[in-house]
Amino acid sequence: MKTRIITGVIAVPLLLCVLLLAPDWATAILVGIISIIAAHEMLSASGEKIKPIIAALAMLYAAFITVATYFNWGIVAEVDKTTRQITSIGHVAMYVGMFAISAAFLMITAKSFRTGERVMPPLLYAVIGGYAIPLLLSSLITLRNAENGKLLVLLPFVSAFITDAGAYFTGVFFGKRKAFPNVSPKKTVEGCIGGIAIGIAAVIAYGAIAQAVTGVHASFLSLALCGIVGAVATEAGDLAFSLIKRERGIKDYGKLLPGHGGVLDRFDSMVLAAPAIHLVTLIILPFSA
């Protein structure tokens, strides 16, 4: 626990500096680094000897997606270069497709874990790691590049991190009924409900603070939707990646972050929370001048 706290004390300020103080390209670089490492960790989790060319292509494609998103090559959503507003929802279908892939990935992994049979081909790990994960995480770049981007990009982080923390502490103090004993033995029904409730409250509170400090107008309806969708997506993402670890019999995806494991161990919930919240902002902007 001590190591975990120390890592958090060091990492959180650095993360905030990149998101809030550095230029928007710094966020793209950060997402690119996370995506490349996540692709490598996903390939390693497959338990198979992946051909070097496949591993290299997966990580290169992860980097390409973040670059393409930053330069607005139509990968995620269009951002008007004058107003800095997200102007197109033409890529919603793509997001739905990514969620469908993630859902299929979850069901395949669940079947594999339940039956004890290996039903997921190693190549699927490369597709998820090199394509789906960076594509979904790249929504952070689009949020950062939009009008009021510094406020928008923090929404997924507030939602994911606070929901995770809320679920943990609620589960520790009030948890009695196991929610997913075969996937994540420590998760409880009370913890899941508490995490979602605290996550929603945190996003709304963040919006109120942002409005008071910056003077921008906050849409509390949009913030409530972001809170609900983000909290549910957070727990779904955490569950999906926990399933993979249970199937493969590994504790963590890596050791890069002391006390936390690998990048995927820390950002697993962000993979679904970020695009889910991004979709809400395409419908109702949480902040406006």
Which range (1-5, 39-43, 160-164) has the least confidence? Answer: 1-5
Query: What mean pLDDT, rounded, does the chain reach?
Result: 81
Cα distances (Å, whole numbers) of residue 265 to 45, 250, 253, 257, 261? 12, 11, 6, 9, 6
Report the pLDDT averaged over residues 163-187.
Answer: 83
Which range (19-28, 115-124, 193-202, 264-273) has the least confidence? Answer: 115-124
Residue 21 CA from chain centroid, whole number:
21
Instruction: Tell me the per-residue pLDDT of 116-160, one tens digit each, with 9 for 90 and over.
Output: 555 556 677 777 888 888 988 999 998 998 889 999 999 999 999
Q: Hey, how many other C-beta atoms are within 10 angstroms of the C-beta on 131?
A: 17
Sign of CA dihedral 249, 10, 155, 205: positive
User: Is residue 134 a contact partner of residue 39, using CB atoms and an 8 Å limit?
Assistant: yes
- pLDDT at position 190 over 60: yes
User: Is residue 40 a contact partner of residue 59, using CB atoms and an 8 Å limit?
Assistant: yes
Report the pLDDT averaged over residues 4-19.
Answer: 80
* Residue 58 exposed, middle or buried by CB count within 10 Å (0-12, 13-18, 19+): buried
**pTM score, two decimals?**
0.84
Of all residues in the chain, the percent with pLDDT exceeding 90 is 33
Find the helix packing angle between 24-45 and 52-70, rounded to 10°.
Answer: 160
Q: Which of 80-89, 136-145, 167-176, 201-210 tops mean pLDDT? A: 201-210
Residue scoring higher pLDDT (281 or 47): 281
Q: pLDDT band at 233, cuts 50/70/90?
A: very high
